Amino acid sequence: MKAGIIAAGEGSRLAKSHAGTVKPLIPVAGRPLAHWIVDGLRAAGATSMTVLTNSRGAAVPPSLATAFPDIAFDFVTADTASSFESFRLVSLRLAKDEEEFVISTVDALIRPEDVLRFISECRATTAEAGLALTEHVDDEKPLWADRGEDGLVTALGDAAKTKRFVTSGLYYMTRKAAGLLPEASAHGRLRDFLGALVAADTRVAGVILTKTLDIDRPEDLGAAESFLTTETKR
């Protein structure tokens, strides 16, 4: 399976504590954040990855290429206007050659075994798309998700009623789902597209993972180091 990593965000809050270092290269437990994401995807079987960075992320490609010589990287640079545009760009690039693929944001820390299980369960549901879900809420603006007994997402965001699960920054896509992507200007946020996808009765799997972390603020780094050095070693 091929994978994508979205590393094109500004990371403005982390920049305050790590001036001069772009978010994907901020050190966490002795390694750049992006290296942990690649590790998780590689452990799940990905040998080729499309990585999207912005024009300030010139140091990211050589860092990843040097650290992971066994991975075939496809580096893309673009200053996108929104999270949806970034997701759309990576999805369409992967869908040209792949029937299915996974995409991770660069700040979503997930146990490697959970990444593998996410892919397996999405495939098992024969869904067109899939969202990694967790009950561990550490995002300031969580995207709530309702999930049916069949394992499919029934509602997202404001439409969610139970507010038990939140999305985790890991996505499964098929070429069919990529074909439903509208123009970049159609949505200002990725969550808006995902909500529209579910509302249109597209089969979107919701895979419940264990604890996951979203790294956005300087205060998230301590929890991330503990997660990576202890909990991921279980």
Instruction: Please write the tens of the pLDDT for every residue from 183-232.
Output: 999 999 999 999 999 999 999 999 999 888 888 777 778 888 888 887 65
Mean predicted lDDT score pLDDT of the chain? 91
Q: What's residue 14's pLDDT? A: 64
Domain ranges across the chain: 2-228
Closest CA to 5 of 71, 62, 53: 53
pTM of the model: 0.93
**Distance of alpha carbon 74 from alpha carbon 70, whole angstroms:** 13
Q: What's residue 228's pLDDT? A: 83
| CA Rg value for the chain | 16
Residue 13 is which amino acid? R
Instruction: Please write the tens of the pLDDT for every residue from 51-66.
Output: 999 999 999 999 999 9
Contact 110, 132 (CB under 8 A): yes
User: 2-228 has which fold?
Assistant: Spore Coat Polysaccharide Biosynthesis Protein SpsA; Chain A (3.90.550)
Contact 165, 144 (CB under 8 A): yes
Query: Which residue reads 């994508």 in tokens?
Result: 4
